[in-house]
Amino acid sequence: MYSLQNIETAPSYDALIRNGFTPNEVVSYYGTSIIDRVTMLNHVKNRNTLTIVKPSPIVKPKPIVKVIVINPNKPSFKEVEDMALEQMTKTFIVDGKKYNMLDMGWFFRFNNMKSSFGLFVPRRRNIELSKWMFENTHNDMDFWLDTMLHEIAHAIDYIRRGTTDHSWQWKQVARAIGCNAERTGHADYDQDNITSRYTLTCKSCGTKRPSHKIKKRTSACTKCCKEHNYGRYSVKYALVQTRNY
């Protein structure tokens, strides 16, 4: 009969300890019948069997692929700048009279206007294009050339009459120097990059454009007015302003 004092001398003592038996359990093991020993051995083995739970694999979310449509015909900023400077040194002839903007003391510069592509400033004798509009639209070089000619036409019209607008006198000058003589141009905005306080939406065609302050007067979609109303304003194509933040 084995006890705790001499249990280490029992046969298979080391093997039982490796299987998870305690010294007291080894004493009990040798004090039971052979059939009960099998039951006890299985019990101790099952008790000490570790259930390994494999962690669930980490499922990484699929990356969101953002497709950015870029107009391959969009010029670089340097190309637009070079074009503008070239037009400033060019001599235009209107009704037989020559007009060279640079020779007449006019200058070109970029501004950061967010509501128009171009601007002429008679007090400073500046012809300006918007850098912000260039960076946030996909318009091609033909568009920017026409915008530059549009503003030069205003400058020449102002020199001739002391004032300028979009009347037939301005249109006559605009056509003479190669401009399409339209009052506004359609902006192909980069909708993914623009974050403006307001958005103007045409309910007719769905075109959206940024707006940076509350509009006091209703404006219409240039694209729809040109395509469906001979370029004239129509409330049918009015832009709806919504606030983004």
| Token digits of residue 150 | 């549009």
Q: Is the pTM of this model over 0.85?
A: no
Give the Cβ contact number of residue 221 at 10 Å: 26
CA 49, chain centre distance (Å): 57
- What are the structural domains, with CATH classification, of the chain? 1-59 (no CATH), 77-176 (3.30.2010.10), 198-243 (no CATH)
Q: For residue range 75-87, list pLDDT tens digits in order.
A: 999 999 999 999 9
In terms of DSSP bridges, do strands 208-211 and 126-130 run parallel, antiparallel, or are they unpaired? unpaired
Sign of torsion, CA 116 120 123 126?
positive
**Distances, alpha carbon 125 to alpha carbons 120, 130, 183, in Å:** 7, 16, 21
Instruction: Determine the pLDDT at residue 67.
Output: 45
**Torsions phi, psi for 118 (to 5 deg):** -140, 165
DSSP state of 147: H
Q: For residue range 110-164, list pLDDT tens digits in order.
A: 999 887 899 999 999 999 999 988 988 888 999 999 999 999 999 999 999 999 9
Reading phi first (left if > 0) and then psi (alpha if -120 to 50, else beta), residue 54 is in beta
Instruction: Determine the pLDDT at residue 72.
Output: 79
Strand partners, 121: 126
- The per-residue pLDDT of the chain, averaged, comes to 82
